[in-house]
Structure 1
Protein backbone atom coordinates (compact mmCIF):
# COMPACT_ATOMS: atom_id res chain seq x y z
CA UNK A 1 0.00 0.00 0.00
CA UNK A 2 1.15 3.54 -0.46
CA UNK A 3 0.47 6.85 1.15
CA UNK A 4 1.07 10.48 0.46
CA UNK A 5 2.45 12.88 3.07
CA UNK A 6 3.32 16.45 2.84
CA UNK A 7 6.19 17.89 4.72
CA UNK A 8 5.77 20.84 7.05
CA UNK A 9 7.09 23.06 4.44
CA UNK A 10 5.00 21.62 1.64
CA UNK A 11 7.91 19.65 0.15
CA UNK A 12 7.78 16.80 -2.37
CA UNK A 13 5.60 13.69 -2.10
CA UNK A 14 7.06 10.64 -0.34
CA UNK A 15 5.87 7.22 -1.63
CA UNK A 16 6.22 4.20 0.67
CA UNK A 17 5.85 0.70 -0.78
CA UNK A 18 5.36 -2.40 1.36
CA UNK A 19 5.58 -5.93 -0.04
CA UNK A 20 3.16 -8.23 1.69
CA UNK A 21 3.94 -11.91 2.28
CA UNK A 22 7.32 -13.59 2.88
CA UNK A 23 9.48 -16.52 1.79
CA UNK A 24 7.77 -19.95 1.79
CA UNK A 25 9.43 -22.55 3.98
CA UNK A 26 11.02 -25.80 2.60
CA UNK A 27 8.49 -28.65 2.58
CA UNK A 28 11.12 -31.53 2.57
CA UNK A 29 11.90 -34.41 0.04
CA UNK A 30 10.97 -37.53 2.03
CA UNK A 31 8.15 -38.31 -0.41
CA UNK A 32 10.65 -38.51 -3.26
CA UNK A 33 12.60 -41.24 -1.49
CA UNK A 34 9.43 -43.19 -0.81
CA UNK A 35 8.34 -42.83 -4.43
CA UNK A 36 11.71 -43.97 -5.69
CA UNK A 37 11.55 -47.04 -3.45
CA UNK A 38 8.08 -47.78 -4.76
CA UNK A 39 9.16 -47.48 -8.40
CA UNK A 40 12.20 -49.70 -7.73
CA UNK A 41 10.06 -52.34 -6.05
CA UNK A 42 7.60 -52.32 -8.96
CA UNK A 43 10.42 -52.61 -11.47
CA UNK A 44 11.87 -55.55 -9.55
CA UNK A 45 8.44 -57.15 -9.36
CA UNK A 46 7.84 -56.87 -13.09
CA UNK A 47 11.38 -58.12 -13.79
CA UNK A 48 10.70 -61.13 -11.57
CA UNK A 49 7.43 -61.86 -13.36
CA UNK A 50 9.16 -61.60 -16.73
CA UNK A 51 11.93 -63.97 -15.65
CA UNK A 52 9.43 -66.52 -14.38
CA UNK A 53 7.64 -66.46 -17.72
CA UNK A 54 10.71 -66.37 -19.99
CA UNK A 55 12.94 -69.01 -18.35
CA UNK A 56 12.79 -72.76 -17.99
CA UNK A 57 12.88 -74.73 -14.77
CA UNK A 58 16.60 -75.50 -15.16
CA UNK A 59 17.40 -71.85 -15.81
CA UNK A 60 15.42 -70.75 -12.76
CA UNK A 61 17.24 -73.34 -10.65
CA UNK A 62 20.56 -72.01 -11.92
CA UNK A 63 19.56 -68.43 -11.01
CA UNK A 64 18.51 -69.60 -7.55
CA UNK A 65 21.83 -71.36 -7.05
CA UNK A 66 23.67 -68.25 -8.16
CA UNK A 67 21.99 -66.05 -5.56
CA UNK A 68 22.20 -68.77 -2.86
CA UNK A 69 25.64 -70.37 -3.32
CA UNK A 70 26.49 -73.59 -1.59
CA UNK A 71 28.29 -73.21 1.73
CA UNK A 72 31.61 -74.98 1.30
CA UNK A 73 32.32 -75.04 5.04
CA UNK A 74 29.12 -76.86 5.94
CA UNK A 75 28.01 -80.35 4.96
CA UNK A 76 24.38 -79.26 4.76
CA UNK A 77 22.58 -76.09 3.77
CA UNK A 78 22.66 -73.60 6.65
CA UNK A 79 19.64 -71.43 7.31
CA UNK A 80 21.71 -68.52 8.50
CA UNK A 81 24.33 -68.83 5.82
CA UNK A 82 27.04 -69.12 8.47
CA UNK A 83 29.73 -71.81 8.32
CA UNK A 84 29.59 -75.08 10.28
CA UNK A 85 25.88 -75.64 9.61
CA UNK A 86 24.78 -72.39 11.26
CA UNK A 87 26.46 -73.17 14.59
CA UNK A 88 29.14 -71.25 16.42
CA UNK A 89 32.15 -72.44 18.40
CA UNK A 90 30.18 -71.71 21.62
CA UNK A 91 27.48 -74.30 20.79
CA UNK A 92 27.64 -77.82 22.21
CA UNK A 93 28.31 -80.83 20.04
CA UNK A 94 29.74 -81.18 16.57
CA UNK A 95 29.80 -78.08 14.46
CA UNK A 96 29.41 -79.90 11.16
CA UNK A 97 26.62 -82.06 9.87
CA UNK A 98 27.29 -85.59 8.68
CA UNK A 99 24.50 -85.49 6.14
CA UNK A 100 25.89 -86.75 2.86
CA UNK A 101 29.28 -87.59 4.39
CA UNK A 102 31.21 -90.51 2.91
CA UNK A 103 31.52 -93.62 5.05
CA UNK A 104 34.15 -96.34 4.68
CA UNK A 105 33.09 -99.91 5.31
CA UNK A 106 35.46 -102.87 5.19
CA UNK A 107 34.74 -105.36 2.44
CA UNK A 108 36.17 -108.56 1.11
CA UNK A 109 39.76 -108.72 0.07
CA UNK A 110 40.06 -108.41 -3.73
CA UNK A 111 40.76 -111.59 -5.60
CA UNK A 112 44.20 -111.66 -7.23
CA UNK A 113 44.37 -113.67 -10.43
CA UNK A 114 47.31 -115.87 -11.14
CA UNK A 115 48.25 -113.80 -14.18
CA UNK A 116 48.71 -110.74 -11.97
CA UNK A 117 51.24 -112.39 -9.65
CA UNK A 118 54.87 -112.04 -10.54
CA UNK A 119 56.33 -115.14 -8.96
CA UNK A 120 59.46 -116.18 -10.76
CA UNK A 121 59.97 -119.18 -8.45
CA UNK A 122 56.77 -120.93 -9.55
CA UNK A 123 57.11 -122.59 -12.97
CA UNK A 124 54.46 -121.80 -15.57
CA UNK A 125 51.83 -124.44 -16.12
CA UNK A 126 51.05 -125.52 -19.69
CA UNK A 127 47.71 -124.27 -20.95
CA UNK A 128 45.22 -126.56 -22.62
CA UNK A 129 45.01 -125.88 -26.32
CA UNK A 130 41.57 -125.55 -27.88
CA UNK A 131 41.14 -125.81 -31.59
CA UNK A 132 39.09 -123.14 -33.34
CA UNK A 133 37.52 -122.88 -36.77
CA UNK A 134 39.97 -122.97 -39.61
CA UNK A 135 40.19 -120.28 -42.24
CA UNK A 136 40.08 -120.83 -45.95
CA UNK A 137 43.71 -120.05 -46.69
CA UNK A 138 44.97 -121.58 -43.48
CA UNK A 139 43.51 -124.94 -44.49
CA UNK A 140 45.12 -124.63 -47.92
CA UNK A 141 48.57 -123.68 -46.65
CA UNK A 142 49.83 -125.99 -43.86
CA UNK A 143 52.70 -123.62 -43.10
CA UNK A 144 50.26 -121.18 -41.48
CA UNK A 145 49.26 -123.76 -38.87
CA UNK A 146 51.31 -123.54 -35.69
CA UNK A 147 52.97 -126.83 -34.64
CA UNK A 148 51.46 -128.52 -31.62
CA UNK A 149 53.93 -128.98 -28.74
CA UNK A 150 54.00 -132.50 -27.29
CA UNK A 151 51.73 -132.97 -24.34
CA UNK A 152 49.80 -129.77 -25.00
CA UNK A 153 46.54 -131.56 -25.63
CA UNK A 154 44.65 -132.69 -22.57
CA UNK A 155 43.29 -135.89 -24.17
CA UNK A 156 44.13 -138.39 -26.85
CA UNK A 157 44.31 -137.19 -30.42
CA UNK A 158 41.03 -137.79 -32.26
CA UNK A 159 41.16 -139.98 -35.35
CA UNK A 160 41.77 -138.22 -38.64
CA UNK A 161 39.91 -138.66 -41.90
CA UNK A 162 36.40 -139.00 -40.46
CA UNK A 163 33.49 -136.56 -40.25
CA UNK A 164 34.28 -135.89 -36.60
CA UNK A 165 37.65 -134.28 -37.37
CA UNK A 166 38.21 -131.05 -35.50
CA UNK A 167 39.17 -128.00 -37.62
CA UNK A 168 42.75 -126.77 -37.64
CA UNK A 169 43.47 -123.76 -35.39
CA UNK A 170 43.91 -120.25 -36.71
CA UNK A 171 47.51 -119.09 -37.00
CA UNK A 172 48.77 -117.18 -34.02
CA UNK A 173 51.60 -114.62 -34.23
CA UNK A 174 53.56 -116.24 -31.42
CA UNK A 175 53.62 -119.60 -33.24
CA UNK A 176 54.69 -118.34 -36.70
CA UNK A 177 58.11 -117.69 -38.08
CA UNK A 178 59.02 -114.27 -39.39
CA UNK A 179 58.34 -115.19 -43.02
CA UNK A 180 55.05 -116.87 -42.15
CA UNK A 181 54.04 -113.88 -40.06
CA UNK A 182 54.67 -111.50 -42.94
CA UNK A 183 52.59 -113.68 -45.25
CA UNK A 184 49.77 -113.79 -42.73
CA UNK A 185 49.79 -110.00 -42.27
CA UNK A 186 49.92 -109.51 -46.03
CA UNK A 187 46.90 -111.80 -46.41
CA UNK A 188 44.94 -109.78 -43.88
CA UNK A 189 45.89 -106.56 -45.65
CA UNK A 190 44.64 -107.99 -48.95
CA UNK A 191 41.34 -108.85 -47.30
CA UNK A 192 41.05 -105.32 -45.88
CA UNK A 193 41.70 -103.87 -49.35
CA UNK A 194 39.08 -106.13 -50.89
CA UNK A 195 36.52 -105.06 -48.28
CA UNK A 196 37.26 -101.39 -48.98
CA UNK A 197 36.93 -101.96 -52.74
CA UNK A 198 33.62 -103.73 -52.25
CA UNK A 199 32.36 -100.94 -50.04
CA UNK A 200 33.16 -98.35 -52.73
CA UNK A 201 31.43 -100.37 -55.45
CA UNK A 202 28.32 -100.90 -53.33
CA UNK A 203 28.15 -97.24 -52.33
CA UNK A 204 28.31 -96.12 -55.95
CA UNK A 205 25.76 -98.71 -57.09
CA UNK A 206 23.34 -97.75 -54.31
CA UNK A 207 23.36 -94.05 -55.27
CA UNK A 208 21.03 -93.41 -58.24
CA UNK A 209 22.97 -90.29 -59.15
CA UNK A 210 26.24 -92.26 -59.42
CA UNK A 211 25.10 -95.66 -60.67
CA UNK A 212 25.74 -94.72 -64.31
CA UNK A 213 29.31 -93.66 -63.41
CA UNK A 214 30.36 -97.12 -62.19
CA UNK A 215 32.30 -97.72 -65.42
CA UNK A 216 34.33 -94.55 -64.76
CA UNK A 217 35.49 -95.87 -61.39
CA UNK A 218 38.31 -98.42 -61.55
CA UNK A 219 39.25 -100.21 -58.32
CA UNK A 220 41.95 -102.87 -58.30
CA UNK A 221 44.75 -104.28 -56.18
CA UNK A 222 48.29 -103.89 -57.50
CA UNK A 223 51.73 -104.67 -56.14
CA UNK A 224 51.80 -101.18 -54.64
CA UNK A 225 48.39 -101.40 -52.94
CA UNK A 226 44.74 -100.61 -53.59
CA UNK A 227 44.48 -98.28 -56.60
CA UNK A 228 41.31 -96.28 -57.22
CA UNK A 229 41.04 -94.34 -60.47
CA UNK A 230 38.45 -91.82 -61.63
CA UNK A 231 38.59 -91.74 -65.43
CA UNK A 232 36.90 -89.62 -68.06
CA UNK A 233 34.49 -91.04 -70.61
CA UNK A 234 33.36 -89.69 -73.95
CA UNK A 235 31.24 -86.65 -73.11
CA UNK A 236 31.51 -87.33 -69.36
CA UNK A 237 34.60 -85.57 -67.99
CA UNK A 238 35.43 -85.50 -64.30
CA UNK A 239 37.03 -82.05 -64.37
CA UNK A 240 36.24 -78.87 -66.25
CA UNK A 241 37.79 -78.76 -69.68
CA UNK A 242 41.32 -77.46 -69.33
CA UNK A 243 40.83 -76.78 -65.61
CA UNK A 244 41.31 -78.39 -62.20
CA UNK A 245 37.78 -77.83 -60.85
CA UNK A 246 35.90 -81.16 -60.43
CA UNK A 247 32.21 -81.38 -61.24
CA UNK A 248 29.56 -82.55 -58.78
CA UNK A 249 29.80 -86.18 -59.89
CA UNK A 250 33.55 -86.25 -59.30
CA UNK A 251 33.08 -84.70 -55.87
CA UNK A 252 30.49 -87.34 -54.98
CA UNK A 253 32.76 -90.17 -56.13
CA UNK A 254 35.70 -88.79 -54.13
CA UNK A 255 33.47 -88.61 -51.06
CA UNK A 256 32.68 -92.33 -51.40
CA UNK A 257 36.37 -93.10 -51.81
CA UNK A 258 37.25 -91.09 -48.72
CA UNK A 259 34.60 -92.88 -46.64
CA UNK A 260 36.12 -96.25 -47.52
CA UNK A 261 39.71 -95.06 -47.04
CA UNK A 262 38.90 -93.75 -43.56
CA UNK A 263 38.48 -97.35 -42.39
CA UNK A 264 42.13 -98.05 -43.17
CA UNK A 265 45.39 -96.50 -42.02
CA UNK A 266 47.49 -97.00 -45.11
CA UNK A 267 49.43 -94.05 -46.52
CA UNK A 268 48.11 -92.53 -49.75
CA UNK A 269 49.65 -91.07 -52.84
CA UNK A 270 47.78 -89.27 -55.58
CA UNK A 271 48.63 -88.92 -59.26
CA UNK A 272 47.09 -86.88 -62.04
CA UNK A 273 47.15 -88.00 -65.69
CA UNK A 274 46.18 -86.43 -69.03
CA UNK A 275 45.88 -87.67 -72.58
CA UNK A 276 48.40 -86.90 -75.29
CA UNK A 277 46.52 -83.90 -76.67
CA UNK A 278 48.78 -80.86 -76.17
CA UNK A 279 47.42 -78.42 -73.63
CA UNK A 280 48.16 -74.76 -74.01
CA UNK A 281 46.62 -72.76 -71.23
CA UNK A 282 48.79 -69.73 -71.60
CA UNK A 283 51.61 -68.50 -69.39
CA UNK A 284 53.66 -71.56 -70.31
CA UNK A 285 51.20 -74.05 -68.77
CA UNK A 286 51.16 -77.59 -70.15
CA UNK A 287 49.83 -81.07 -69.42
CA UNK A 288 52.31 -81.29 -66.56
CA UNK A 289 50.72 -78.33 -64.81
CA UNK A 290 47.18 -79.52 -65.52
CA UNK A 291 47.78 -83.04 -64.18
CA UNK A 292 49.53 -81.72 -61.06
CA UNK A 293 46.74 -79.23 -60.35
CA UNK A 294 44.07 -81.92 -60.65
CA UNK A 295 46.02 -84.23 -58.33
CA UNK A 296 46.39 -81.47 -55.76
CA UNK A 297 42.67 -80.64 -55.99
CA UNK A 298 41.92 -84.33 -55.33
CA UNK A 299 44.13 -84.18 -52.24
CA UNK A 300 42.25 -81.13 -51.01
CA UNK A 301 38.85 -82.81 -51.47
CA UNK A 302 40.00 -85.95 -49.63
CA UNK A 303 41.23 -83.80 -46.74
CA UNK A 304 37.90 -82.00 -46.58
CA UNK A 305 36.19 -85.40 -46.44
CA UNK A 306 38.19 -86.36 -43.34
CA UNK A 307 41.41 -87.97 -44.58
CA UNK A 308 44.25 -86.80 -42.25
CA UNK A 309 46.98 -84.82 -43.98
CA UNK A 310 49.69 -87.02 -42.47
CA UNK A 311 48.40 -89.98 -44.49
CA UNK A 312 49.09 -88.22 -47.79
CA UNK A 313 52.50 -89.49 -48.87
CA UNK A 314 52.88 -87.64 -52.18
CA UNK A 315 50.95 -85.69 -54.84
CA UNK A 316 52.29 -85.61 -58.39
CA UNK A 317 51.34 -84.92 -61.99
CA UNK A 318 52.32 -87.48 -64.66
CA UNK A 319 51.00 -85.62 -67.72
CA UNK A 320 50.61 -88.17 -70.56
CA UNK A 321 53.61 -90.33 -69.62
CA UNK A 322 51.59 -93.26 -68.21
CA UNK A 323 48.48 -93.70 -70.40
CA UNK A 324 45.79 -96.08 -69.26
CA UNK A 325 45.23 -97.11 -72.89
CA UNK A 326 48.71 -97.17 -74.48
CA UNK A 327 47.38 -98.06 -77.94
CA UNK A 328 45.22 -94.90 -77.98
CA UNK A 329 47.01 -92.15 -76.07
CA UNK A 330 44.32 -89.60 -77.01
CA UNK A 331 41.46 -91.65 -75.51
CA UNK A 332 39.37 -89.89 -72.83
CA UNK A 333 40.09 -92.66 -70.30
CA UNK A 334 43.71 -91.51 -70.16
CA UNK A 335 42.49 -88.34 -68.43
CA UNK A 336 42.19 -89.51 -64.84
CA UNK A 337 43.28 -89.15 -61.22
CA UNK A 338 44.70 -92.13 -59.38
CA UNK A 339 44.46 -92.66 -55.61
CA UNK A 340 46.60 -95.49 -54.24
CA UNK A 341 46.48 -96.87 -50.69
CA UNK A 342 50.01 -98.14 -50.23
CA UNK A 343 50.71 -101.56 -48.80
CA UNK A 344 52.34 -101.62 -45.38
CA UNK A 345 53.37 -105.28 -45.68
CA UNK A 346 55.35 -106.06 -48.79
CA UNK A 347 54.92 -109.63 -49.97
CA UNK A 348 58.03 -111.55 -50.91
CA UNK A 349 58.30 -112.15 -54.66
CA UNK A 350 57.56 -115.68 -55.80
CA UNK A 351 55.33 -116.43 -52.81
Structure 2
Protein backbone atom coordinates (compact mmCIF):
# COMPACT_ATOMS: atom_id res chain seq x y z
CA UNK A 1 0.00 0.00 0.00
CA UNK A 2 1.34 3.41 -0.91
CA UNK A 3 2.04 6.20 1.58
CA UNK A 4 -0.84 8.26 0.23
CA UNK A 5 -3.24 5.39 0.93
CA UNK A 6 -2.09 4.99 4.55
CA UNK A 7 -2.35 8.79 5.13
CA UNK A 8 -5.90 8.76 3.76
CA UNK A 9 -6.95 5.98 6.17
CA UNK A 10 -5.40 7.82 9.17
CA UNK A 11 -7.26 11.02 8.31
CA UNK A 12 -10.55 9.12 8.14
CA UNK A 13 -10.08 7.71 11.71
CA UNK A 14 -12.48 9.51 14.07
CA UNK A 15 -11.90 9.93 17.83
CA UNK A 16 -15.19 8.92 19.49
CA UNK A 17 -14.02 9.99 22.95
CA UNK A 18 -13.87 13.75 22.29
CA UNK A 19 -16.99 14.21 24.40
CA UNK A 20 -14.84 13.52 27.47
CA UNK A 21 -13.14 16.89 27.01
CA UNK A 22 -16.43 18.76 27.12
CA UNK A 23 -17.65 16.63 30.00
CA UNK A 24 -14.45 17.32 32.00
CA UNK A 25 -14.80 21.06 31.34
CA UNK A 26 -18.39 20.96 32.53
CA UNK A 27 -17.49 19.09 35.75
CA UNK A 28 -14.68 21.57 36.48
CA UNK A 29 -16.95 24.59 35.98
CA UNK A 30 -19.68 23.00 38.07
CA UNK A 31 -17.22 22.31 40.90
CA UNK A 32 -15.94 25.89 40.81
CA UNK A 33 -19.52 27.20 40.79
CA UNK A 34 -20.45 25.35 43.98
CA UNK A 35 -17.19 26.27 45.72
CA UNK A 36 -17.95 29.96 45.13
CA UNK A 37 -21.56 29.56 46.19
CA UNK A 38 -20.50 27.77 49.37
CA UNK A 39 -18.07 30.53 50.21
CA UNK A 40 -20.50 33.39 49.64
CA UNK A 41 -23.92 32.02 50.47
CA UNK A 42 -26.03 29.94 52.79
CA UNK A 43 -28.58 27.51 51.33
CA UNK A 44 -31.64 26.48 53.28
CA UNK A 45 -32.69 22.86 53.41
CA UNK A 46 -35.62 23.09 50.97
CA UNK A 47 -33.60 24.87 48.33
CA UNK A 48 -30.76 22.44 48.82
CA UNK A 49 -33.11 19.56 47.93
CA UNK A 50 -34.20 21.39 44.79
CA UNK A 51 -30.58 21.90 43.81
CA UNK A 52 -29.76 18.23 44.48
CA UNK A 53 -32.71 16.99 42.42
CA UNK A 54 -31.78 19.34 39.58
CA UNK A 55 -28.20 18.11 39.52
CA UNK A 56 -29.30 14.46 39.52
CA UNK A 57 -31.80 15.10 36.72
CA UNK A 58 -29.21 17.03 34.73
CA UNK A 59 -26.63 14.25 34.98
CA UNK A 60 -29.17 11.65 33.88
CA UNK A 61 -30.11 13.66 30.80
CA UNK A 62 -26.64 14.89 29.68
CA UNK A 63 -26.00 13.88 26.07
CA UNK A 64 -22.54 13.32 24.71
CA UNK A 65 -21.99 16.90 23.65
CA UNK A 66 -21.19 20.28 25.17
CA UNK A 67 -24.77 21.50 24.48
CA UNK A 68 -26.01 19.12 27.19
CA UNK A 69 -23.82 20.85 29.74
CA UNK A 70 -25.45 24.18 28.96
CA UNK A 71 -28.93 22.66 29.41
CA UNK A 72 -27.98 21.21 32.82
CA UNK A 73 -26.66 24.55 34.10
CA UNK A 74 -29.77 26.38 32.92
CA UNK A 75 -31.99 23.82 34.71
CA UNK A 76 -30.16 24.39 37.99
CA UNK A 77 -30.25 28.16 37.66
CA UNK A 78 -33.98 28.14 36.93
CA UNK A 79 -34.84 26.26 40.13
CA UNK A 80 -32.16 27.36 42.61
CA UNK A 81 -32.30 30.65 44.51
CA UNK A 82 -29.33 31.43 46.73
CA UNK A 83 -29.94 33.39 49.94
CA UNK A 84 -27.04 35.79 50.55
CA UNK A 85 -26.60 36.25 54.34
CA UNK A 86 -26.23 39.68 55.91
CA UNK A 87 -22.67 40.91 55.93
CA UNK A 88 -21.04 40.30 59.28
CA UNK A 89 -18.14 42.26 60.68
CA UNK A 90 -15.05 40.23 61.61
CA UNK A 91 -14.39 39.98 65.38
CA UNK A 92 -11.36 42.28 65.20
CA UNK A 93 -13.43 45.00 63.50
CA UNK A 94 -16.05 44.77 66.26
CA UNK A 95 -13.32 45.01 68.90
CA UNK A 96 -11.74 48.04 67.25
CA UNK A 97 -15.14 49.72 67.03
CA UNK A 98 -15.87 49.10 70.71
CA UNK A 99 -12.45 50.42 71.73
CA UNK A 100 -12.90 53.55 69.62
CA UNK A 101 -16.30 54.17 71.21
CA UNK A 102 -14.78 53.70 74.66
CA UNK A 103 -11.99 56.18 73.90
CA UNK A 104 -14.56 58.71 72.69
CA UNK A 105 -16.59 58.33 75.90
CA UNK A 106 -13.45 58.72 78.00
CA UNK A 107 -12.39 61.87 76.15
CA UNK A 108 -15.87 63.35 76.45
CA UNK A 109 -15.71 62.70 80.20
CA UNK A 110 -12.33 64.45 80.33
CA UNK A 111 -13.70 67.47 78.46
CA UNK A 112 -16.65 67.70 80.87
CA UNK A 113 -14.28 67.64 83.84
CA UNK A 114 -12.11 70.25 82.14
CA UNK A 115 -15.16 72.53 81.79
CA UNK A 116 -16.31 71.92 85.38
CA UNK A 117 -12.89 72.90 86.73
CA UNK A 118 -12.20 75.60 84.11
CA UNK A 119 -11.34 78.42 86.61
CA UNK A 120 -8.80 76.20 88.37
CA UNK A 121 -7.44 74.98 85.02
CA UNK A 122 -6.92 78.61 83.95
CA UNK A 123 -5.06 79.30 87.20
CA UNK A 124 -2.79 76.31 86.66
CA UNK A 125 -4.10 74.55 89.77
CA UNK A 126 -5.64 71.68 87.78
CA UNK A 127 -4.39 69.83 84.71
CA UNK A 128 -6.30 67.23 82.71
CA UNK A 129 -4.16 64.94 80.57
CA UNK A 130 -4.56 61.72 78.59
CA UNK A 131 -1.89 59.07 79.07
CA UNK A 132 -1.25 55.35 78.82
CA UNK A 133 -3.68 54.38 81.60
CA UNK A 134 -6.47 56.79 80.72
CA UNK A 135 -7.35 60.32 81.82
CA UNK A 136 -5.52 61.88 84.79
CA UNK A 137 -6.78 64.95 86.67
CA UNK A 138 -4.00 66.50 88.79
CA UNK A 139 -5.33 68.86 91.46
CA UNK A 140 -2.90 70.94 93.50
CA UNK A 141 -3.23 70.19 97.21
CA UNK A 142 -3.53 73.90 98.05
CA UNK A 143 -6.95 73.84 96.33
CA UNK A 144 -8.17 70.96 98.49
CA UNK A 145 -6.49 71.01 101.90
CA UNK A 146 -4.92 73.25 104.49
CA UNK A 147 -1.17 72.59 105.04
CA UNK A 148 -0.60 69.38 106.96
CA UNK A 149 -4.34 68.51 106.95
CA UNK A 150 -6.48 65.91 105.14
CA UNK A 151 -9.89 67.54 105.60
CA UNK A 152 -11.35 68.95 102.38
CA UNK A 153 -12.00 72.70 102.26
CA UNK A 154 -15.53 73.87 101.50
CA UNK A 155 -14.53 75.15 98.04
CA UNK A 156 -12.83 71.82 97.34
CA UNK A 157 -15.99 69.94 98.28
CA UNK A 158 -18.01 71.88 95.70
CA UNK A 159 -15.40 71.37 92.97
CA UNK A 160 -15.00 67.64 93.64
CA UNK A 161 -18.77 67.15 93.89
CA UNK A 162 -19.06 68.59 90.36
CA UNK A 163 -16.44 66.09 89.17
CA UNK A 164 -18.28 63.26 90.94
CA UNK A 165 -21.51 64.14 89.14
CA UNK A 166 -19.67 63.67 85.84
CA UNK A 167 -18.06 60.38 86.89
CA UNK A 168 -21.12 58.78 88.54
CA UNK A 169 -22.93 57.74 85.29
CA UNK A 170 -19.77 56.25 83.76
CA UNK A 171 -18.32 52.78 84.33
CA UNK A 172 -14.59 53.54 84.26
CA UNK A 173 -12.40 52.40 87.20
CA UNK A 174 -11.06 55.38 89.18
CA UNK A 175 -7.80 55.56 91.14
CA UNK A 176 -7.27 58.46 93.56
CA UNK A 177 -3.64 59.06 94.55
CA UNK A 178 -2.33 61.32 97.29
CA UNK A 179 1.13 62.88 96.86
CA UNK A 180 3.26 65.12 99.09
CA UNK A 181 6.60 66.87 98.88
CA UNK A 182 9.63 65.65 100.80
CA UNK A 183 9.14 67.96 103.78
CA UNK A 184 8.90 65.67 106.84
CA UNK A 185 5.74 65.68 108.96
CA UNK A 186 5.33 64.18 112.40
CA UNK A 187 2.04 64.76 114.20
CA UNK A 188 -0.17 62.47 116.31
CA UNK A 189 -2.54 62.13 113.35
CA UNK A 190 0.11 61.90 110.61
CA UNK A 191 3.38 60.36 111.78
CA UNK A 192 4.77 60.63 108.22
CA UNK A 193 3.88 61.75 104.71
CA UNK A 194 2.61 58.23 104.01
CA UNK A 195 -0.31 58.66 106.38
CA UNK A 196 -0.99 62.20 105.13
CA UNK A 197 -1.03 61.22 101.46
CA UNK A 198 -3.19 58.16 102.13
CA UNK A 199 -5.74 60.11 104.19
CA UNK A 200 -6.00 62.84 101.53
CA UNK A 201 -6.75 60.24 98.86
CA UNK A 202 -9.30 58.61 101.17
CA UNK A 203 -11.03 61.95 101.79
CA UNK A 204 -11.56 62.42 98.05
CA UNK A 205 -12.82 58.84 97.62
CA UNK A 206 -15.26 59.27 100.50
CA UNK A 207 -16.67 62.45 98.94
CA UNK A 208 -17.05 60.71 95.58
CA UNK A 209 -19.01 57.87 97.18
CA UNK A 210 -21.25 60.35 99.03
CA UNK A 211 -21.84 62.10 95.67
CA UNK A 212 -23.07 58.94 93.93
CA UNK A 213 -19.95 57.24 92.50
CA UNK A 214 -20.02 53.46 92.94
CA UNK A 215 -17.44 52.60 95.61
CA UNK A 216 -16.51 49.39 93.79
CA UNK A 217 -14.95 51.50 91.05
CA UNK A 218 -12.77 53.51 93.45
CA UNK A 219 -9.27 52.92 94.81
CA UNK A 220 -7.39 55.21 97.23
CA UNK A 221 -3.59 55.13 97.31
CA UNK A 222 -0.97 57.24 99.10
CA UNK A 223 2.51 57.65 97.62
CA UNK A 224 3.98 60.24 100.01
CA UNK A 225 6.92 61.93 98.22
CA UNK A 226 7.91 58.92 96.11
CA UNK A 227 6.49 60.12 92.78
CA UNK A 228 7.37 63.79 92.40
CA UNK A 229 6.48 65.82 89.34
CA UNK A 230 9.15 68.43 89.96
CA UNK A 231 12.36 68.95 91.93
CA UNK A 232 11.72 69.23 95.66
CA UNK A 233 14.73 71.53 95.98
CA UNK A 234 12.63 74.59 95.07
CA UNK A 235 9.43 75.99 96.66
CA UNK A 236 7.68 75.89 93.29
CA UNK A 237 8.67 72.26 92.77
CA UNK A 238 7.44 71.26 96.23
CA UNK A 239 4.13 73.01 95.59
CA UNK A 240 3.65 71.08 92.35
CA UNK A 241 4.41 67.80 94.09
CA UNK A 242 1.71 68.35 96.74
CA UNK A 243 -1.29 67.12 94.79
CA UNK A 244 -4.12 64.64 94.38
CA UNK A 245 -4.16 62.71 91.09
CA UNK A 246 -7.47 61.22 89.89
CA UNK A 247 -6.93 58.65 87.14
CA UNK A 248 -9.96 57.50 85.12
CA UNK A 249 -8.74 54.23 83.71
CA UNK A 250 -9.42 53.09 80.16
CA UNK A 251 -7.86 49.64 80.69
CA UNK A 252 -6.63 49.98 77.11
CA UNK A 253 -3.03 51.28 77.15
CA UNK A 254 -2.61 51.43 73.37
CA UNK A 255 -1.49 55.05 73.18
CA UNK A 256 1.19 56.08 75.64
CA UNK A 257 1.54 59.57 74.21
CA UNK A 258 0.41 62.19 76.68
CA UNK A 259 -1.70 64.98 75.20
CA UNK A 260 -3.33 68.03 76.70
CA UNK A 261 -7.12 67.96 76.79
CA UNK A 262 -8.75 71.13 75.50
CA UNK A 263 -12.28 72.31 74.87
CA UNK A 264 -11.65 72.72 71.15
1:318 aligns with 2:223: yes
- Which of structures 1 and 2 has the larger relative contact order (alpha carbons within 8 angstroms, sep 6+)? 2
The alpha-carbon deviation at position 183 of structure 1 amounts to 3.4
1:291–1:329 distance in 2 versus 1, CA, 3 Å = farther
Q: Secondary structure at the match of 2:225?
A: coil
Gaps of 5+ in 2: 1-43, 48-81, 258-264
The alpha-carbon deviation at position 287 of structure 1 amounts to 0.3
- Structure 1 counterpart of 2:244, from 337, 342, 345: 337
1:221-236 superposed matches below 5 A: 221-232=130-141, 236=142
Q: Secondary structure at the match of 2:128?
A: strand
* CA distance in 2: counterparts of 1:284 and 1:297, whole angstroms: 14
**Aligned length, in residue pairs:** 179
Q: CA RMSD in A?
A: 3.0
1:204 aligns with 2:117: yes
1:263–1:241 distance in 2 versus 1, CA, 3 Å = same
The alpha-carbon deviation at position 249 of structure 1 amounts to 2.1
1:216–1:176 distance in 2 versus 1, CA, 3 Å = farther
Once superposed, which parts of structure 1, at least 4 consecutive aligned residues long, lie more than 6 Å away? Answer: none
1:122–1:311 distance in 2 versus 1, CA, 3 Å = farther
1:337–1:349 distance in 2 versus 1, CA, 3 Å = closer
Q: Secondary structure at the match of 2:138?
A: strand
Deviations 1:225-282 (A, max 9, x none): 11112114xxx44202211101122212211221221232011111100011111213
* CA distance in 1: counterparts of 2:217 and 2:250, whole angstroms: 13
* CA distance in 1: counterparts of 2:170 and 2:249, whole angstroms: 11
| Structure ranking higher in helix proportion | 2
1:74-223 superposed matches below 5 A: 121=45, 125-126=83-84, 174-178=88-92, 180-205=93-118, 210=119, 215-223=124-132
8 Å CA contact retained: 2:150, 2:199: yes
1:329–1:253 distance in 2 versus 1, CA, 3 Å = farther
8 Å CA contact retained: 1:225, 1:340: yes
Gaps of 5+ in 1: 1-119, 129-148, 150-173
Q: Secondary structure at the match of 2:117?
A: helix
8 Å CA contact retained: 1:189, 1:345: no
TM-score, length-normalised on structure 1? 0.45
Q: Secondary structure at the match of 2:247?
A: strand
The alpha-carbon deviation at position 305 of structure 1 amounts to 0.8
The alpha-carbon deviation at position 310 of structure 1 amounts to 1.2
Deviations 1:284-320 (A, max 9, x none): 71000000000111110000110011111x2111000
The alpha-carbon deviation at position 126 of structure 1 amounts to 2.9
1:200–1:214 distance in 2 versus 1, CA, 3 Å = farther
- Structure 1 counterpart of 2:163, from 257, 260, 275: 257
The alpha-carbon deviation at position 328 of structure 1 amounts to 4.7
- Structure 2 counterpart of 1:242, from 135, 145, 148: 148
